[in-house]
Amino acid sequence: MQFVFVLIWALALGVGTHASAGAAAHEHREWIVVYSPDLAEAAREWAEYRRSAGWNAVCVDAAALGPPHAGAEAVAQAIRAGLRLRFDAAGRQGGPSRHFAVLLLGPVNHADGRPAIPMWRRPQTDPDLIGREGLADIATDLDYQLADDLDDLPDFPLGRVPARSVAEARAALDKVMRYETAAPSGPWRRRITCLAGEGRFGPIDTLLERLFVRLIDQVVPYEFDVGMTYASPRSPYCAPPSRYSELVLERLSEGALLVNYVGHGQVSMLDRLTIGAQRYDVCSIESLRGLRSSGNRLPIALLVACWAGRIDLPADRRGLGEMMLFNPNGPVAVIASGRITHPYANALLQKSFTQQLCVQRPATAGQAHLASLRALASPDEIDRQLESLAQPIALAMKWKTSPADLRLMHIGMYGLLGDPALRIAYPPGEIVDWRCDVAGGRVSGAVAGAARGEAIISIETMREPIHRAAELRAAIGASGAALDAVLTHNYAIANDKVLWRTTVALDAAGRFSTALPRERLDHPQAAWVKVYVSATDAAGVVLDGAKAGRLSEN
């Protein structure tokens, strides 16, 4: 039977596999879409788009990989066997993991319960969860990414678009095309939006908030702007309760490179902000209807929470992550878990993905996702620091699974909802001839090839501590409109890191230069000079660039 599956793959992959004439002659880039048969038309459209971008795009009908009425395990085995065959072939042509990507286009099951593109089922290994209803196994697409049986680590980028109709598949493709071809220039390309839910672990919540902010500060370079919204009235980063859900939608709609949520989650919603008897949704399937157009400034969403990425649901239910993906104004890709997760491993996953996006900057969402999962098996110095903090908590709370096993378990939990070949909208240009002369009070630089644009220049503080902390007001005892007023005031102050800002037009050579105010440079908390150049070349191609200079180093 395995021979039959491989033969079917060989026949299927022999059709329509020509590379685009625009592809580099020395580079073999293979993109495979395995699709549910009722999505064949959308799969062909997606493949044609990927061919236009230089990929050798291949369409494979999942239903053709086995005999009629094949069970879920047989279909999954057949798909994996074929992917291993193609990955090995791509490896012989060079760089398989970087230039090999797989999109699963379709749901886990058809509406009548028959397998479409099945997920793999792994047994739950955490004794604290074994036996709890709905937690007997972990549903995952990880096993499709295992190119061999040598280890349990993913070997190539893979994503899924769990569309149940051609309309949903086209909605997801339309977002990819808008993001890659029509996303405008602008500071949104350096914006990191952080949303956090209240831990509800008692006095440790304040510590967790500080650790989260410190972790972001450690891994996100200062040329990025970071905004923080935290669902706890005890935090200065808490938005006013009456506008909380609305403000979260504003954060999702304003445009960002990454929207990162950390906190509790459910299948159809993230957490709630609770004030007395009042509850305010952080984000839910229902509230997504209020998302406004971002003008193609679509974020990638990282939902570090339980359940938000679940897609193995009955036909009458949908999960939050997939509904974000199919919303025309929602994120262009979502990384999320479909099962209960653990705060310790979540922190490492959040760190590794953010670090990939902001420091390593791989070209595609699939490469960033792949590297962040593999990093869970190879802890770095920051990971080891977090583990040392987790160990006494593990002993006190009597964790039954070791930190190392929790890391490995979460590799199979966090899937990518979206196209793994998605090109990430980093600022694509580079600021050259950079000079930050603190003594002379001037900053200058250029973006080569820029025909028009502007430089947004600022002097800013460190992200922590809050430099206007003395102006914060006490929220304890306040309620209703009074609490709203206090938190509105505090939220603005907590997220204000800018001491001075100006905008300067680029000259004909793409250069900028401006004086820096001495009184702001000499401010006791002035720490960085940041520049974002929002620019295009003569053909309208985006050439944005970002730079940050530490004042103490100039």
For residue 208, the enclosing domain spans 185-417
Q: What is the CATH number of the domain that holds 369?
A: 3.40.50.1460
Residue 3 has pLDDT above 60, yes or no: no
Residue 222 has pLDDT above 80, yes or no: yes
Q: Are residues 437 and 530 in the same domain?
A: yes
The chain-wide mean pLDDT, for the chain, equals 88
The verdict on residue 485 lying in a domain is no
β-pair type (442-447, 431-437) = antiparallel
Q: Are residues 334 and 290 in the same domain?
A: yes
Of the residues 66, 95, 118, the one at which a domain ends: 118
Residue 368: its pLDDT value, please?
A: 98
Q: Are residues 325 and 361 in the same domain?
A: yes
Q: Give the Cα-Cα-Cα angle 91, 97, 98 (nearest 5 degrees).
A: 110
- Model confidence pLDDT, tens digit, residues 365-411: 999 999 999 999 998 887 777 777 666 666 666 677 778 888 888 99
Q: Are residues 321 and 364 in the same domain?
A: yes
Query: What is the percent of the chain with per-residue pLDDT over 70, rounded to a whole number?
Result: 87
Q: Are residues 246 and 299 in the same domain?
A: yes
The verdict on residue 403 lying in a domain is yes
Q: Are residues 107 and 210 in the same domain?
A: no
Residue 464: its pLDDT value, please?
A: 87
Instruction: Say which residue, 89 or 9, is predicted with more confidence.
Output: 89
Beta strands in 210-257 (DSSP E): 225-231
Q: Are residues 246 and 387 in the same domain?
A: yes
CB neighbours of residue 480 within 10 Å: 12
β-pair type (272-275, 414-417) = unpaired
The DSSP annotation for 20-41 comes to: PTTS-TT---EEEEEE-GGGHH
Residue 223 has pLDDT above 90, yes or no: yes
Model confidence at 202, pLDDT cuts 50, 70, 90, reads: low
Q: Are residues 63 and 206 in the same domain?
A: no
**Of 423, 424, 419, residue with least CA distance to 103:** 419
What is the distance between the alpha carbons of residues 273 and 351, in angstroms, rounded to a whole number?
24
The verdict on residue 198 lying in a domain is yes
Nearby residues of 289 by Cβ (< 8 Å), 6 or more positions away: none
The verdict on residue 246 lying in a domain is yes
102-106, 312-316, 541-545: the lowest-pLDDT one: 312-316
What is the distance between the alpha carbons of residues 367 and 350, in angstroms, rounded to a whole number?
15
Q: Are residues 306 and 454 in the same domain?
A: no
Q: What is the pTM of this model?
A: 0.92
Displacement of CA 338 from its chain's centroid (Å) = 15
Q: Are residues 112 and 196 in the same domain?
A: no
The verdict on residue 487 lying in a domain is no
Q: Are residues 83 and 217 in the same domain?
A: no
Residue 273: its pLDDT value, please?
A: 87
Helix (H, G, I), strand (E, B) or coil at 121: strand
Instruction: Say which residue, 138 or 108, is predicted with more confidence.
Output: 108
State the residue for tokens 């204000």.
496
Nearby residues of 500 by Cβ (< 8 Å), 6 or more positions away: 458, 459, 516, 517, 520
Residue 141: its pLDDT value, please?
A: 98
- Model confidence pLDDT, tens digit, residues 493-527: 999 999 999 999 999 999 999 999 999 999 999 99
Residue 205 has pLDDT above 90, yes or no: no
540: left (phi over 0), alpha (psi -120 to 50) or beta: left
Q: Helices 72-91 and 2-13: crossing angle, nearest 10°?
A: 50
Are the CB atoms for 338 and 307 separated by under 8 Å?
Answer: yes
Are the CB atoms for 65 and 144 separated by under 8 Å?
Answer: no
Residue 5 has pLDDT above 70, yes or no: no
CB neighbours of residue 510 within 10 Å: 25
Residue 207: its pLDDT value, please?
A: 56
Counted domains in the chain = 3
The verdict on residue 171 lying in a domain is no
Model confidence at 546, pLDDT cuts 50, 70, 90, reads: very high
Q: Are residues 378 and 442 in the same domain?
A: no
The verdict on residue 25 lying in a domain is yes
What is the distance between the alpha carbons of residues 554 and 552, in angstroms, rounded to a whole number?
6
Residue 19: its pLDDT value, please?
A: 37
β-pair type (545-550, 258-262) = unpaired
Q: What is the CATH number of the domain that holds 63?
A: 3.40.50
Gyration radius (Cα) of the chain, Å: 24
